[in-house]
Amino acid sequence: MNIPSNTHVIDATGLIVGRMASLVAKRLLLGDNIVIVNAEKAIISGKRLSLINRAKEFLQVGHPRKGPIHHRSPDQILRRTTRGMLPRKKVKGQKAYRRLKVFNGVPKTYMNEEKITIPQANANRLSCPYITLGELAKNIGWKYAGE
């Protein structure tokens, strides 16, 4: 498969979700195509039980058939986080959101592509407790299918 030249493959391993999402949103608005791989290895800062309890409370909001829809898989959580940083009700935000792809693990299509990282979002800068997005997702009901 031929991948466009303005496509950037970002490895989310060890990157803080919020910081990464905000920088990705800026790049999307500039017209880049972004592919994020290893979404389950991205990091959320905070105490483990506090984050899990907050996510479980959030799942209680709404109606299962009427919405709002709450995703449990790490790739969808990360995609939704990035959507929150885009002007999604405007045309430019909708076009930018369509240029984003997020995957758990690394698909075969992007296996040989050069993966970049975002130094500003690296978790080495954290001095507080944190958990991975995959760990959070498993605790709120995500069942990893595997490959």
Tens digits of per-residue pLDDT, 32-69? 999 999 999 999 999 999 999 999 999 899 887 888 88
| pLDDT per residue as tens digits for the range 73-118 | 999 999 999 999 999 999 999 999 999 999 999 999 999 999 999 9
At 25, which amino acid appears? Answer: A
Is the residue at 130 inside a domain? yes
Read off the CATH number of the domain in which 103 is found: 3.90.1180.10
Band of the pLDDT at 143, cuts 50, 70, 90?
Answer: confident
Query: How many domains, in total, are found in the chain?
Result: 1
Whether 6 has a pLDDT exceeding 90, the answer reads no
Residue 34 in any domain: the answer is: yes
3-state secondary structure 8-72: EEEECCCEEHHHHHHHHHHHHHCCCEEEEECHHHCEEECCHHHHHHHHHHHHCCCECCCECCCCC
Q: Is residue 2 part of a domain?
A: no
Calpha distance 25→20 (Å, rounded): 9
**Residue 126 included in any domain:** yes
The answer to whether residue 144 sits within a structural domain is no
Domain hosting 88: range is: 7-139
> Which helix H or strand E contains 131, and what residues bound it?
strand 130-132
> Of the candidates 42, 48, 54, which has an alpha carbon nearest to the alpha carbon of residue 14?
42
pLDDT, residue 75, reads 96
- Within a domain: 147: no
- Report yes or no on whether pTM surpasses 0.85: yes
Tell me whether residue 59 is in a domain. Answer: yes
Q: Tell me phi and psi for residue 34, to 5 degrees.
A: -120, 135
pLDDT number for residue 147: 52
